[in-house]
Amino acid sequence: MKQSSLKKQRTFRLGLSYLLLILVVVVIIYPLLWTIGASFNPGNSLVSTSMIPENPTLGHYLKLFSGENELYYGQWYLNSLKISVFTMLLSLVFVSMTAYSFSRFRFSGRKNGLMLFLLLQMIPQFSALIAIFVLAQMLGLINSHWLLILIYVGGQIPMNTYLLKGYFDSIPIDLDESAKIDGASNTRIFWQILIPLSRPMLAVVAMNGFTGPLGDFALSSVLLRNPAYYTLPIGLYKLVTDKMGASYTTFAAGAILISIPIALVFIALQKHFVSGLTAGGTKG
């Protein structure tokens, strides 16, 4: 009787787990499929669209790159990719060096520095929008992508430093000491030991650095005023609010295209995520 009861409980739990998984998939997949269908549907309104278009068309995708009515989608796409790629690369450099310093060295102000990072994590970046705008105006850096990149990189450092520092702390310091006995410098230990062993967490930092600018609207809309300098979030917002015609189906097409570079970066970094999971499973 006990075995039968345990078997029923396991079956119930397994069925409940599958049900929850199906619900999560539906919640995630349904809006995506609807947006894809809308992007191929004729017309400008989402009200008349269906998930499977009756007369699918590529017109909305072609319109994005037509350049009509100040619709510089191709330029916005390049702007977003430029900002995202440089934010990702600079975040990897600064976060890895900062995390290594806090993990492996003991220096004056170390605890205060970690506490400062913790406090910075709690302050949302948009709370400083006015100060950032005034500073950009004083420096003449309105419509500057590089100022935007530096702000994004600065915003990535506190949280990602905590993540990477924790990962560095999990790597035995005996490896460092053995390398030092063999004559390795701290720089060599950092590049040849810690960095290769930390690829899974570096992949997380890279993913955060790449996707953050692609989804930001508040900060970029404050600093970028010229349509030629817009990023995708600003451009698509203007597409449905300004004089460009409020084409929601064209907006859907533009939103779908944003996901392509994110998917490609995730696929490129996926092997590092998987290697981290398998390393964690075989550790010890």
Residues 6+ positions from 160 with CB-CB distance below 8 Å: 91, 95, 99, 204, 205, 208, 209
The letter for the amino acid at 185 is S
Q: Which residue has the higher pLDDT, 62 or 231?
A: 231
Token representation of residue 246: 């409020």
The most confident of 5-14, 125-134, 179-188, by mean pLDDT: 179-188
Token representation of residue 206: 């890279």
pTM (2 d.p.)? 0.82
pLDDT value, residue 277: 44
> Is 80 exceeded by the pLDDT of residue 137?
yes
Distance from the Cα of residue 284 to its chain's centroid: 32
Q: How confident is the model at residue 274 (pLDDT cuts 50, 70, 90)?
A: low
pLDDT tens digits, one per residue of 217-253: 888 988 998 888 999 999 888 877 765 556 778 888 8
Place of tokens 């993990």: 103
**Span 21-41, mean pLDDT?**
81
Q: What's the half-sphere exposure (Cβ side, CA atoms, 13 Å) at 30?
A: 6
Tell me how far apart the alpha carbons of residues 86 and 92 are, in angstroms, rounded to a whole number.
10
Residues 6+ positions from 60 with CB-CB distance below 8 Å: 39, 40, 247, 249, 250, 252, 253
CA distances from 215 to 35, 37, 264 (A): 17, 22, 16
pLDDT tens digits, one per residue of 191-204: 888 888 888 899 99
Largest CA distance in the chain: 79
Residues 6+ positions from 239 with CB-CB distance below 8 Å: 71, 245, 246, 247, 250, 251, 254
pLDDT value, residue 55: 79
**Span 118-133, mean pLDDT?**
79
pLDDT tens digits, one per residue of 1-30: 556 677 777 787 888 888 888 888 778 888
pLDDT tens digits, one per residue of 75-117: 999 999 999 999 999 999 999 999 999 988 888 888 888 888 8
Tell me how far apart the alpha carbons of residues 152 and 83 are, in angstroms, rounded to a whole number.
9
Average pLDDT of the chain, as a whole number: 83
Tell me how far apart the alpha carbons of residues 276 and 203 are, in angstroms, rounded to a whole number.
10
Tell me how far apart the alpha carbons of residues 132 and 141 are, in angstroms, rounded to a whole number.
10
